[in-house]
Chain A
Amino acid sequence: DAGVTQSPTHLIKTRGQQVTLRCSPKSGHDTVSWYQQALGQGPQFIFQYYEEEERQRGNFPDRFSGHQFPNYSSELNVNALLLGDSALYLCASRGSGTGGYEQYFGPGTRLTVT
Protein backbone atom coordinates (compact mmCIF):
# COMPACT_ATOMS: atom_id res chain seq x y z
CA ASP A 1 0.00 0.00 0.00
CA ALA A 2 1.67 3.20 -1.22
CA GLY A 3 -0.32 5.48 1.06
CA VAL A 4 -1.19 9.00 -0.07
CA THR A 5 1.09 10.24 -2.85
CA GLN A 6 1.55 13.74 -4.23
CA SER A 7 3.35 15.27 -7.18
CA PRO A 8 5.46 17.17 -7.75
CA THR A 9 7.58 17.30 -4.59
CA HIS A 10 8.80 20.83 -5.17
CA LEU A 11 7.74 23.59 -7.52
CA ILE A 12 8.96 27.09 -8.22
CA LYS A 13 6.62 29.52 -9.98
CA THR A 14 6.51 33.22 -10.76
CA ARG A 15 3.83 35.62 -9.55
CA GLY A 16 0.79 35.60 -11.82
CA GLN A 17 1.38 32.08 -13.10
CA GLN A 18 -0.89 29.10 -12.61
CA VAL A 19 -0.06 25.79 -10.93
CA THR A 20 -1.60 22.31 -10.73
CA LEU A 21 -0.80 19.92 -7.90
CA ARG A 22 -1.78 16.25 -7.94
CA CYS A 23 -2.78 13.71 -5.30
CA SER A 24 -3.53 9.99 -5.25
CA PRO A 25 -5.37 8.81 -2.15
CA LYS A 26 -4.52 5.81 -0.02
CA SER A 27 -5.91 2.56 -1.39
CA GLY A 28 -9.54 2.15 -0.35
CA HIS A 29 -10.02 5.87 0.35
CA ASP A 30 -12.48 7.95 -1.64
CA THR A 31 -12.47 11.30 0.12
CA VAL A 32 -9.69 13.81 -0.53
CA SER A 33 -8.97 17.07 1.28
CA TRP A 34 -6.38 19.74 0.55
CA TYR A 35 -4.58 21.85 3.14
CA GLN A 36 -2.13 24.73 2.95
CA GLN A 37 0.63 24.83 5.56
CA ALA A 38 2.66 28.01 5.84
CA LEU A 39 6.03 27.82 7.55
CA GLY A 40 5.66 27.46 11.33
CA GLN A 41 1.88 27.13 11.26
CA GLY A 42 -0.74 24.42 11.34
CA PRO A 43 -2.39 23.20 8.15
CA GLN A 44 -5.30 25.32 6.90
CA PHE A 45 -8.22 23.57 5.17
CA ILE A 46 -8.79 24.50 1.51
CA PHE A 47 -11.51 22.07 0.38
CA GLN A 48 -12.72 18.48 0.45
CA TYR A 49 -13.87 16.30 -2.46
CA TYR A 50 -16.12 13.24 -2.40
CA GLU A 51 -17.79 11.56 -5.38
CA GLU A 52 -16.17 14.16 -7.65
CA GLU A 53 -17.92 17.03 -5.89
CA GLU A 54 -16.62 19.73 -3.56
CA ARG A 55 -18.21 18.89 -0.22
CA GLN A 56 -16.75 21.60 1.98
CA ARG A 57 -14.61 24.68 1.42
CA GLY A 58 -12.40 26.74 3.69
CA ASN A 59 -11.69 30.47 3.57
CA PHE A 60 -9.69 30.54 0.37
CA PRO A 61 -10.35 32.74 -2.68
CA ASP A 62 -11.76 31.45 -5.94
CA ARG A 63 -8.22 31.38 -7.33
CA PHE A 64 -8.03 28.02 -5.58
CA SER A 65 -10.00 25.33 -7.36
CA GLY A 66 -9.97 21.58 -7.45
CA HIS A 67 -11.17 18.48 -9.12
CA GLN A 68 -11.63 14.83 -8.23
CA PHE A 69 -11.49 12.10 -10.85
CA PRO A 70 -13.48 8.84 -11.02
CA ASN A 71 -10.45 6.96 -9.63
CA TYR A 72 -10.60 9.28 -6.55
CA SER A 73 -7.36 11.09 -7.39
CA SER A 74 -7.49 14.85 -7.15
CA GLU A 75 -5.94 18.04 -8.44
CA LEU A 76 -5.52 21.43 -6.80
CA ASN A 77 -5.27 24.40 -9.14
CA VAL A 78 -4.13 27.86 -8.11
CA ASN A 79 -4.43 30.76 -10.56
CA ALA A 80 -2.78 34.18 -10.52
CA LEU A 81 -0.16 33.11 -7.98
CA LEU A 82 0.80 35.53 -5.22
CA LEU A 83 3.95 35.54 -3.11
CA GLY A 84 1.74 34.62 -0.15
CA ASP A 85 0.76 31.36 -1.83
CA SER A 86 4.22 30.00 -1.06
CA ALA A 87 3.61 27.09 1.30
CA LEU A 88 3.52 23.33 1.71
CA TYR A 89 0.35 21.94 0.12
CA LEU A 90 -0.85 18.77 1.75
CA CYS A 91 -3.35 16.29 0.45
CA ALA A 92 -5.17 14.03 2.88
CA SER A 93 -7.46 11.09 2.28
CA ARG A 94 -9.96 9.11 4.29
CA GLY A 95 -12.46 6.34 3.62
CA SER A 96 -16.19 6.87 3.64
CA GLY A 97 -17.06 3.57 5.25
CA THR A 98 -17.90 2.98 8.88
CA GLY A 99 -15.03 4.12 11.05
CA GLY A 100 -13.32 5.92 8.19
CA TYR A 101 -12.79 9.13 10.09
CA GLU A 102 -8.99 8.83 10.28
CA GLN A 103 -7.33 11.17 7.81
CA TYR A 104 -3.90 10.39 6.38
CA PHE A 105 -1.63 12.96 4.79
CA GLY A 106 0.61 12.80 1.77
CA PRO A 107 4.21 14.12 1.80
CA GLY A 108 3.13 17.46 0.39
CA THR A 109 4.20 19.71 -2.47
CA ARG A 110 6.46 22.61 -1.53
CA LEU A 111 5.40 25.59 -3.69
CA THR A 112 7.65 28.62 -3.90
CA VAL A 113 6.35 31.73 -5.66
CA THR A 114 8.98 34.29 -6.68
Chain B
Amino acid sequence: GENVEQHPSTLSVQEGDSAVIKCTYSDSASNYFPWYKQELGKRPQLIIDIRSNVGEKKDQRIAVTLNKTAKHFSLHITETQPEDSAVYFCAASIFLGGAGGTSYGKLTFGQGTILTVHP
Protein backbone atom coordinates (compact mmCIF):
# COMPACT_ATOMS: atom_id res chain seq x y z
CA GLY B 1 0.00 0.00 0.00
CA GLU B 2 0.87 3.67 -0.09
CA ASN B 3 3.53 4.96 2.29
CA VAL B 4 4.17 8.65 2.94
CA GLU B 5 7.39 9.85 4.59
CA GLN B 6 7.56 13.40 6.00
CA HIS B 7 10.59 15.44 7.04
CA PRO B 8 11.62 17.09 9.24
CA SER B 9 9.75 15.91 12.33
CA THR B 10 10.40 19.25 14.04
CA LEU B 11 11.19 22.65 12.56
CA SER B 12 12.02 25.81 14.46
CA VAL B 13 12.24 29.18 12.68
CA GLN B 14 12.31 32.86 13.52
CA GLU B 15 9.31 35.02 12.68
CA GLY B 16 9.63 36.26 9.10
CA ASP B 17 11.75 33.33 7.94
CA SER B 18 10.57 30.70 5.46
CA ALA B 19 9.73 27.11 6.36
CA VAL B 20 9.84 24.09 4.07
CA ILE B 21 8.40 20.66 4.81
CA LYS B 22 9.01 17.76 2.45
CA CYS B 23 7.12 14.51 1.79
CA THR B 24 7.78 11.52 -0.39
CA TYR B 25 5.24 8.89 -1.42
CA SER B 26 5.62 5.36 -2.68
CA ASP B 27 2.64 4.69 -4.96
CA SER B 28 2.92 6.32 -8.36
CA ALA B 29 -0.88 6.05 -8.71
CA SER B 30 -1.33 8.75 -6.05
CA ASN B 31 -2.52 11.97 -7.63
CA TYR B 32 -4.06 14.13 -4.91
CA PHE B 33 -1.86 15.69 -2.23
CA PRO B 34 -3.40 17.82 0.53
CA TRP B 35 -1.68 19.52 3.46
CA TYR B 36 -3.34 19.86 6.84
CA LYS B 37 -2.55 22.09 9.82
CA GLN B 38 -3.47 20.80 13.25
CA GLU B 39 -3.30 22.99 16.33
CA LEU B 40 -3.14 21.40 19.76
CA GLY B 41 -6.43 19.74 20.65
CA LYS B 42 -8.10 20.75 17.39
CA ARG B 43 -9.13 19.12 14.15
CA PRO B 44 -6.83 18.92 11.10
CA GLN B 45 -7.61 21.83 8.79
CA LEU B 46 -6.99 21.73 5.06
CA ILE B 47 -4.65 24.57 4.14
CA ILE B 48 -3.70 23.79 0.56
CA ASP B 49 -3.80 20.90 -1.88
CA ILE B 50 -2.50 19.96 -5.30
CA ARG B 51 -3.47 17.45 -7.94
CA SER B 52 -1.04 15.68 -10.18
CA ASN B 53 -1.91 17.70 -13.27
CA VAL B 54 -0.34 20.74 -11.59
CA GLY B 55 3.30 21.26 -10.58
CA GLU B 56 2.86 24.18 -8.21
CA LYS B 57 0.05 25.97 -6.41
CA LYS B 58 0.20 29.10 -4.30
CA ASP B 59 -2.19 30.72 -1.84
CA GLN B 60 -0.85 33.91 -0.28
CA ARG B 61 2.08 32.89 1.99
CA ILE B 62 1.63 29.17 1.36
CA ALA B 63 2.73 27.19 -1.67
CA VAL B 64 2.97 23.53 -2.57
CA THR B 65 5.18 21.99 -5.23
CA LEU B 66 4.88 18.51 -6.71
CA ASN B 67 7.47 16.42 -8.54
CA LYS B 68 5.68 13.31 -9.81
CA THR B 69 8.80 11.84 -11.37
CA ALA B 70 10.63 11.89 -8.05
CA LYS B 71 7.43 11.19 -6.09
CA HIS B 72 7.82 14.05 -3.68
CA PHE B 73 5.96 17.19 -2.77
CA SER B 74 6.74 20.09 -0.48
CA LEU B 75 5.00 22.79 1.55
CA HIS B 76 6.54 26.25 1.57
CA ILE B 77 5.50 28.90 4.07
CA THR B 78 6.97 32.37 3.61
CA GLU B 79 7.08 35.26 6.09
CA THR B 80 6.21 32.93 8.96
CA GLN B 81 4.20 34.25 11.90
CA PRO B 82 3.81 32.88 15.44
CA GLU B 83 0.26 31.77 14.58
CA ASP B 84 1.72 29.42 11.97
CA SER B 85 3.02 27.31 14.88
CA ALA B 86 1.24 23.94 14.70
CA VAL B 87 1.66 20.37 13.48
CA TYR B 88 1.57 20.04 9.71
CA PHE B 89 0.62 16.81 7.94
CA CYS B 90 1.02 15.91 4.30
CA ALA B 91 -1.17 13.23 2.74
CA ALA B 92 -1.62 11.35 -0.51
CA SER B 93 -4.66 9.83 -2.15
CA ILE B 94 -5.19 7.55 -5.13
CA PHE B 95 -7.81 8.07 -7.82
CA LEU B 96 -10.00 4.97 -7.79
CA GLY B 97 -11.97 5.71 -10.92
CA GLY B 98 -15.31 7.23 -11.82
CA ALA B 99 -16.32 10.83 -11.31
CA GLY B 100 -16.40 13.16 -8.37
CA GLY B 101 -14.87 13.13 -4.91
CA THR B 102 -15.88 9.57 -4.13
CA SER B 103 -13.51 8.43 -6.83
CA TYR B 104 -10.60 9.38 -4.55
CA GLY B 105 -9.68 6.82 -1.95
CA LYS B 106 -8.32 7.08 1.54
CA LEU B 107 -5.82 9.69 2.65
CA THR B 108 -2.46 8.27 3.71
CA PHE B 109 -0.78 10.72 6.07
CA GLY B 110 2.83 11.49 6.84
CA GLN B 111 4.08 11.42 10.43
CA GLY B 112 3.73 15.17 10.90
CA THR B 113 6.05 18.15 11.39
CA ILE B 114 5.93 20.27 14.53
CA LEU B 115 6.55 23.84 13.34
CA THR B 116 7.51 26.43 15.94
CA VAL B 117 7.79 30.08 14.91
CA HIS B 118 9.64 32.19 17.47
CA PRO B 119 8.66 35.88 17.75
* Chain A residues engaging chain B, CB cutoff 8 angstroms: 30-31, 33, 35, 40-45, 48, 50, 55-56, 58, 90, 92, 94-108
Contact = CB atoms under 8 A, between A and B. Distances in A.
B46 A31 contact: no
Nearest to B1: A59
Contacts of B106: 33, 45, 48, 56, 58
A104 B49 CA distance: 12
A55 B102 contact: yes
Given A45-B106, A106-B43, A107-B42, A101 B101 contact: yes
Interface residues of B, number: 28
B99 interface: yes
Contacts of A90: 43-44
B109 A99 contact: no
A85 to B, nearest CB: 19
Give the interface centre of B96, B102, B110, B112 by most chain A CB atoms within 10 Å: B102
Contacts of A48: 105-106
A31 B98 CA distance: 14
A95 B110 contact: no
B112 A94 contact: no
Nearest to A104: B46
A102 B101 contact: yes
A97 B101 contact: yes
B38 to A, nearest CB: 9
Contacts of A58: 106
A107 B34 contact: no
